[in-house]
Amino acid sequence: MLAHVTSSAVNGIDAYLVEVEVDIAPGIPGFTIVGLPDTAVQESKERVRAAIKNSGLEFPSRKITINLAPADVRKEGPSFDLPIAIGILAATAQVDPGLIQDCIVLGELSLDGTVRSVSGVLPIALDARERKIKRMVVPAQNVKEAAIVGGIDVYPVTTLAEVVQLFNEPDHMLPAIFDRKELESLEEPTYDVDFCDVKGQETVKRALEVAAAGGHNILMIGPPGSGKTMLARRIPTILPPLNMEEALEVTKLYSVCGLLSPNEALITRRAFRSPHHTISNAGLTGGGTYPRPGEVSLAHHGVLFLDELPEFKRDVLEVMRQPIEDGCVTIARAQASLTYPAQFMLVGAMNPCPCGFYNDHLKACTCAPHMIQKYLQRISGPLLDRIDIHIEVPRLKTDELTGKSAGEPSAAIRARVCAARERQHARFAGSKIHCNAQMTSRHIKAFCQLSEDAEAMLKQAIDHLRLSARAYDRVLKLSRTIADLAGADRIGVEHIAEAVQYRSLDRKYWG
């Protein structure tokens, strides 16, 4: 007898339907899976056999052939366990074959018949809604990320026996209902850290506010203990909350990677990723035998913090140049090419020399000039050119360190950042651009209008600092953000002056 069960899988961050065809025929007992299954799918034979028997159901002693269509796409992971088991039960008349139509089935099976969680449920649910599929059967741990999509009846199950009962007696189980009140946390995410904890460093805080307002990349240079890491970890507290579209994009990535917490429906905080400097190319930008998103994609719509920037391998840093410029990562393999989104805010921190005290006003540097030069040259010019803001983080003075006054809270800074972002959203309405840092040359010409004095100052800065064409564009984007923070429609001299100041520090260190 032949049975068909609809399942789904993920390719990149997008889902596609997989038809699980089960044929049970007379002959020597055997169990064969075809359709380019990987090792995890091949091993499902033993899990399915044990789960069916241990659930009190009958496993047929006949020739079983499973086809996973389309047969030319490689199938990965254990999520096909449940649809294979249901297909076998439908082919042996233990489940009503008519009731499994127009329903997507997902789940990994334990040997005792328990249904375990799987990854990629959110993109699968979004794809099902677009295809107008009305029902989904998912593990109970994944029910929230499927139910949040809406427009689909999502049935959470914990055992294979429950699934059999659902298809044989559909009136006994009701679909899950998502509580929309859980989305209220999108408005005001809470954090354990705050900018009021940071003493002094008012110039750096201003630079971080500008960076957050426009989504600009920033590099902080200073001696050990000056507060670079402390400042970086507080950047998410001044970023605007994720809107629903951004939250769904980020949650899709984490769902594909299996990084969603149990029963978590939606990621509501902007990501803060801080990989160690020993990370590989594939770990940072994505890849592997079966490509997965890397840290630059997991930081989508959030912050990617690279501490001790010169300690990262040179080739690892260089692979970031394309994601920074394009906002996405394309991983090409012989069989397929996958693209992952990667619109992140890069925050780098580094010491000015190997000992860390070059140009420090309290402690003398012990590095020879050639050592300093070699250390700084670990950061290439093209990568520096893609970082909008370069800011020095000096050691705190004694009065600042021992002072009792608290700094400005993150909420006050975030209010100004949100106001600037609202101006940008209104400006870029109808486009795929979210902030000034993502502007193209066409947008710069349209929205970065300069006064005559500002244009004259910018020309002087280009000649004096020998700015590249890319640096010129980034100065204009920075100026636009500074003007947005000030509530100005036109870019003035003061906005250009501040933007140029943020691009001059690399000349001090790199010449």
- Long-range CB contact pairs, 91-97, < 8 A, 24+: 91/1, 91/2, 91/3, 91/22, 91/23, 91/24, 91/60, 92/1, 92/24, 92/58, 92/60, 93/1, 94/57, 94/58, 94/164, 95/164, 95/167, 95/168, 96/167, 96/168, 97/3
Which value, to the nearest 10 degrees, does the dihedral of the CA atoms of residues 471, 473, 474, 475 take? 90
173-187 in b/e form (b: 16+ CB < 10 A) is: beebebeeeeeeebe
Which CATH architecture does the domain made up of 195-410 adopt? 3-Layer(aba) Sandwich (3.40)
Position 181 scores a pLDDT of 59
Position 353 scores a pLDDT of 92
pTM beyond cutoff 0.75: yes
Position 108 scores a pLDDT of 96
Q: Peptide bond before 70: cis, by omega within 30 degrees of 0?
A: yes
Residue 472, burial from CB neighbour count under 10 angstroms (0-12, 13-18, 19+) = middle
- Long-range CB contact pairs, 313-320, < 8 A, 24+: 313/277, 314/378, 314/380, 315/281, 316/279, 316/280, 316/281, 316/284, 317/379, 317/380, 317/383, 318/380, 318/382, 318/383, 319/281, 319/284, 319/285, 320/284, 320/285, 320/296, 320/346, 320/383
pLDDT < 70 positions in the chain: 178-188, 263, 334-335, 400, 506, 511
Position 123 scores a pLDDT of 94
What are the pLDDT digits (tens) for 121-150?
999 999 999 999 989 999 999 998 898 888
Position 504 scores a pLDDT of 78
Domain boundaries, the chain: 2-179, 195-410, 439-511
Position 186 scores a pLDDT of 55
Helices and strands of the chain, counted as H and E runs: 22, 18
Position 182 scores a pLDDT of 58
Fold of 439-511: Helicase, Ruva Protein; domain 3 (1.10.8)
Residue 284, burial from CB neighbour count under 10 angstroms (0-12, 13-18, 19+) = buried
CATH number of 2-179: 3.30.230.10
Angstrom distance (rounded) from CA 453 to CA 475: 16
User: Distance of alpha carbon 165 from its chain centroid, rounded?
Assistant: 38
